[in-house]
Structures are given as structure tokens and as C-alpha cells.
Amino acid sequence: MSGPVAGEVVFWRGGMRESAHRVHVAVVDPSGHLVASAGDADLVTFPRSSSKPVQALPLAEAVPDLSTEELAIACASHAGTDEHLRVVRRLLERAGLGPGALRCGTHPPFDADAALALACRGEAPGALHHNCSGKHAGMLLTCVARGWPVEGYTEPDHPLQQEILMLHAELGGTDDVIAGRDGCSVVAVATHLHAAGRIFARFAAPSGPHAGTLERVFTAMSGHPFLIAGRGRLDTELMPRVAGAMSKMGAEGFFGLALRETARGPLGVAIKVEDGGERARAHVTLAVLEALGVEVQGELYDLYPRVLTNFAGYEVGEVTVNLPLVVPT
């Protein structure tokens, strides 16, 4: 008996398949019903930074007067521009802490202009420039507000990380969550793709004891798409062009969507590119939105064209997407 058929994003050159990426998709409603899938909806995987909306829920609950900008940057994989860093600093100031308290590590800004400006000033990147610094600043503020220790806030046995694990299980409707360590050192949670889709569906249709904070996170992220990522990046480009959408990229080809305006009502979508191929993500995301009948502003297709050209403008190939979304009987 053959297994479920995965989706496939294929890059062609000269009429030949040059590379291909297997894709798994779960489309879930807020009750946890699997509306449609491609590949293995039970695949256990790490959403990575797509977990940030859940990781920000304790912050939203602990600090009810947080601005939408501050809540958005806590959910972000930001590009390290001055606009991003300004909001991260506000979170740290609220906590009475400085950048030295951040335990996310350091890398250059994702934004090329910001990285160049830093280099021209002869400055080395610091923890503030790390794309997860907003999340870490939010976690530190949560610890201060809850009276939890700041030291060790990234560790699996810290009460904040334990609460985040429980929230993934509760919102995903599963006890089957696995703790690893993320690139920024906090707990990375692995769960079934189906459960990840249900988590995003809960943001699309908030209910239950966390309804208020789910709504606040949705509003903050969808209202500040630039803060969530940065120019030219999928979250920032998608959310203003898809009505009623909240999205969050994760490393290794993961993508989560909370959709409020579909023919089936609010839905959550979890996408995993099996080999971690980042370049396949936007193409399969557009195919999922098409399959669900969700209207997309045309500029988004211009940003992620199916026709491939080289630096001299010659057409060299194309991208095709085969997405056999199956509706369970």
C-alpha cells in the first residue's frame, strides 16, 4: 500500500529537472479537524521560529499593557534594522535590563543595508542584531513580570520554557511534544504537522482561556508585518497582501499560516519542506492559498515568479508546484 503523496516543488533548467523539494502540508480547522493535507500530516517536525507566536503568549498575558509593536517584535525573526532594534530596546527597558542579558547569541543583521552600515562604522554585531533578540527580550520581560529568575531563562527546566511547552501541547491538542534546543538557545518544540496546523487555526479563531492573548498576537503580527521580518522576506510581503492572514516563517523550510477569510472559515496551515529548502517555501505557500481559494494580491506573485531568469535577464527555467491536497473522507 502506498503512503500519502507529498507535494513537490521542482526547479527546471533547459527543460530538465534540476532540483526538487518534497513538501508536507496540513490544513486544520480550529476544532482540530484535518480539512486537507499533502504528504504526511503526522510528520513530527520542529516549527522552529514558527513557534514564536506561541512563545509570546506568556508575555502577552503577563504584560497586558504591551503595545502592538512590542508584542510584534517578540514574535519576530527580524532583520536587524534600526526600526527593529528600537522596539527590542523598549522591551529591555521595560524589564530594567540591558542587551547583556540576552542569551540568543550574535550574528550580522539580515538586512543588507543594516549590515553594511554596521561594518562601515567599524562595529561588530551584537546580541540586539540577532533575529531572535525581540523574542528573548520578551522572555526576559515575562520573567520579570512573573517574578521568575532571569538567569537560566533559556533552559528547558525554567518555568517559562515549561509553560511554552505546555501551551504547544494545549493549543495543538496533543501531549506528544518533544523538546530540543533552538539556534538561539531556547527550547525548540517538535510536534506533529497536524498539531502545528491546529495551533495556527487557534490564532485564526481565538477561543478558550487564551482567546484574548491569541487575538492580541494575531493583531500585533498582522498589523506590523515589517517588524515580523523585514523587506523582501515572506512574512512581511505576504501579510499585507492576503486579507485576514497572520504568518510566521521557521528555519529549515517550515511555514505557518492563520487564515481568517477562507470558504471553509478560519483555518490554520502548517507547511514543511522536507529537505529544509527555503526557496521552495514561498512557491508552495502560494499554491496552498490558491487551492484554498484565498485571494492573493498580484504583487506577491511578482516577488516569487515561476519563470526563472538570470542576472542578464535571460529566461533560464521555471518553477512548478505539484500539490495533491487530499480531503479526508
Q: Considering the domain boundaries, does residue 229 fall inside one? A: yes
Q: Residue 120 burial (CB < 10 Å; 0-12/13-18/19+)?
A: exposed
Alpha helix segments (H runs only) across the chain: 52-55, 57-62, 68-74, 82-95, 112-120, 133-146, 159-172, 193-204, 211-223, 225-228, 234-238, 281-291, 299-303
What pLDDT, on a 0 to 100 scale, did the predictor assign at position 329?
A: 55
Range of the domain at 98: 7-322
Residue 1: pLDDT band with limits 50, 70, 90:
very low
State pLDDT tens for residues 192-210: 999 999 999 999 999 999 9
pLDDT > 90 in the chain, percent: 95
Q: Considering the domain boundaries, does residue 93 fall inside one? A: yes
State pLDDT tens for residues 141-188: 999 999 999 999 999 999 999 999 999 999 999 988 999 999 999 999
The DSSP-derived string for 143-175 is HHHHT--STTTTSTTSHHHHHHHHHHHHHHT-S
Q: Considering the domain boundaries, does residue 329 fall inside one? A: no
Q: Considering the domain boundaries, does residue 117 fall inside one? A: yes
State pLDDT tens for residues 242-278: 999 999 999 999 999 999 999 999 999 999 999 999 9
Q: Considering the domain boundaries, does residue 1 fall inside one? A: no
d(CA 51, CA 183): 13
Supply the mean pLDDT for the chain.
96
What pLDDT, on a 0 to 100 scale, did the predictor assign at position 298?
A: 85
CATH of the domain at 92: 3.40.710
Out of 149-153, 279-283, 293-297, least confident range: 293-297
If one counts the domains in the chain, the total is: 1
What pLDDT, on a 0 to 100 scale, did the predictor assign at position 228?
A: 98
Sequence-separated (6 or more) residues with CB below 8 Å from residue 223: 68, 72
Residue 127: pLDDT band with limits 50, 70, 90:
very high
> Are 199 and 164 a contacting pair, CB within 8 Å?
no
> Are 201 and 268 a contacting pair, CB within 8 Å?
yes
pLDDT of 28 above 70: yes
Q: Considering the domain boundaries, does residue 150 fall inside one? A: yes
Q: Considering the domain boundaries, does residue 2 fall inside one? A: no
Q: Considering the domain boundaries, does residue 327 fall inside one? A: no
pLDDT of 232 above 80: yes
d(CA 283, CA 239): 15
Q: Tell me how far the alpha carbon of residue 143 is from its chain's centroid.
A: 23
What pLDDT, on a 0 to 100 scale, did the predictor assign at position 248?
A: 98
Q: What angle do CA 61, 67, 68 make, to 5 degrees?
A: 90
> Are 85 and 128 a contacting pair, CB within 8 Å?
yes
pTM of the shown model: 0.95
